[in-house]
Structure 1
Amino acid sequence: MKQFFITATDTDAGKTFVSCALIHALTQHNKVANDEVLKVAAYKPISAGCELINGQLINEDAKLLSDFANCDQTIAQINPIAFKEPIAPHIAAKKQNKKITISDINSYYQQVKSFNADVTLVEGAGGWRLPLGPVSTCSDNNSISNGKTNKPTYQFLSDFVKEANLEVILIVNMKLGCLNHALLTYETIKADGLKCIAWIANCASNEPMNNLSENITELENILPMPKIAQLDFINDVDEEGKTVSYFEKVNRAANKINLSIL
């Protein structure tokens, strides 16, 4: 079973869109024995910004993932930790007197792995170093040491990725600053002892980046892993005035992804 973690240079970089496109490409363009479709499971451990529907918090990104994954997962199985407010998850958890733990994330992940999918795609939240909150705090009596304030030890979603030893695919949000963001993210992934196997250039904004092709060339030269796709922004309405559905956008993007190294 192959396991990939999808991260990005920042939030709103199009992780869910790219994840859906990857799933669609894998299920539609790859075949296994006897020409059977690959089974692909999705896992988005944490989300914030959910709608309460019939007593259940539903995240739109998780719902989209469920539309493309083909292991008959429930929304809760895809996205077990969900918060209503669209804020940093660990802050949302603190406001509810809850904690997000690596142990819980890993436990939910083992349930996803029980589907025995050919490929499991794990989508992160925010960027690589998403905080999950402190794992320890310092007492007031020990708050000052050698003139410096002792700070709590934090855990991050990347700690789960390290524990699960997932291969990483980096989504680069093509905008001003992306060269720095991409290189810093890659270097941190490498420093964490993980393998970043590919990157995808994603134009997540309808305002095109100045000198886009030059910036992509620079990234191709700087980043050591291969670029497996360049995805353009797709408007909701095409040049003929026809509405372009989310499925059609995903399908177009899927056709541009090179799956050969995955």
Structure 2
Amino acid sequence: MAKHKYFIAGTDTDVGKTLIACGILEKARQQGLKTAAVKPVAAGCEQTSEGLRNGDALALQDAMTLELSYAQVNPVAFEPPIAPHIAAMQENKQLSVPRLAGFCSGVLMQPCDLVLVEGAGGWRVPLNPRETLANLAVELNLPVILVVGMKLGCINHALLSVEAIERDGLKVAGWVANRIDPDMSCYEENMMTLRTLIKAPCLGEVPFLEQAGKAPVADNLDLTPLFT
């Protein structure tokens, strides 16, 4: 069973959850730790000779040290790049927390030092009319690493996300500031506000990267709070 398990959530879609998750996996690998990851549901997949494949899931598969099949890393895949519950409805399929939790449990039981479960979009992305991906994190009882996309509006998005996570009974283990807008005004002032108002530790500030990759991200992270 994994020693350390975390749910990767974002303040919005396209804030770099997968990039940061891969950076965390790379940083852990550099420290000699065994790692694994799972993206239980992914929309925006491409048809290949081996079936549907999602770029984010493939990146996680490449960044972790454990060798798992693609189906273990991304058990539920949809082709359209839309909200998962809408993609499921279009294909007459049903998403549910118990089913996704079962897929995740298989990876969480692996003999690893660190396992990451990456969500989709923000904290309240629906799975069906009654459940959201937040319910999956609650079902798995995982502390959360929040990826904050540094852009105009990030303070509101971050604080609302933290509030929702804590209201759902989970701990925010840490957060990462990912600068997705290179021209963001008052960046330092925004960071100061976030550091003041978010009580969880900041695990790092990732600058805007022209060529994003797991190694440059890892260079800007400090995982000490996750393992102490």
> 1 or 2 for the larger relative contact order (CA 8 Å, sep ≥6)?
2
1:69 counterpart (59, 64, 69)? 64
1:250 counterpart = 2:214: yes
Q: 1:58 to 1:223 in 2, by over 3 A?
A: same
What residue is the counterpart of 2:171 in the other structure?
A: 195
Matched, 1:59 2:62: no
CA contact (8 A) 2:94 2:128 kept: yes
In the alignment of these two chains, the number of paired residues is 224
Determine the C-alpha separation between the residues in 1 that align with 2:51 and 2:62: 18
Shift of 1:18: 0.3
TM-score of the superposition, structure 1-length normalised? Answer: 0.83
2:10 is matched with 8
Shift of 1:114: 3.2
Q: Deviations over 1:42-97 (max 9, x none)?
A: 01011001011114110000001111111101111101011000011100100111
Partner of 2:193: 218
Aligned to 1:174: 150
Q: Which has the larger radius of gyration?
A: 1
- Describe the SS at the equivalent of 2:224: coil
- Tell me, which stretches of 5 or more residues in structure 1 are unaligned? 31-36, 135-153, 237-245
Letter in 2 for 1:19: A
**For 1:176 and 1:73, how far apart are their aligned partners in 2?**
38
Amino acid at match of 2:131: Q
Q: 1:24 aligns with which of 11, 23, 26?
A: 26
Q: Judge conservation of contact 2:5–2:108 (CA < 8 Å) in 1.
A: no
Give the TM-score, by structure 2 length.
0.95
Give 1:165 shift: 0.6
Alpha-carbon RMSD: 1.0
Q: For 1:45 and 1:117, how far apart are their aligned partners in 2?
A: 18
Partner Cα distance (2:108, 2:216) in 1: 29
- Runs of 4+ with deviation above 4 angstroms: none
1:1-262 correspondence to structure 2 within 5 Å: 1-28=3-30, 30=31, 37-134=32-129, 154-205=130-181, 207-236=182-211, 246=212, 249-262=213-226
Query: Is the CA contact (8 Å cut-off) linking 2:58 and 2:70 kept in structure 1?
Result: yes
Query: Which shows bigger deviation, 47-56 or 57-66?
Result: 47-56
What do residues 81-132 of structure 1 show as CA deviations (whole Å, max 9, x unaligned)? Answer: 1100001110010011110011111110121123221111111100001100
Find the residue that maps to 2:225 and give its secondary structure.
coil
Identity %: 42
State whether residues 15 and 148 of structure 2, in contact with CA within 8 Å, keep that contact through their aligned partners in structure 1.
yes
- 2:215 and 2:50 map into 1 onto residues whose CA distance is 32
Give 1:208 shift. 2.2
Partner of 2:177, secondary structure, is strand
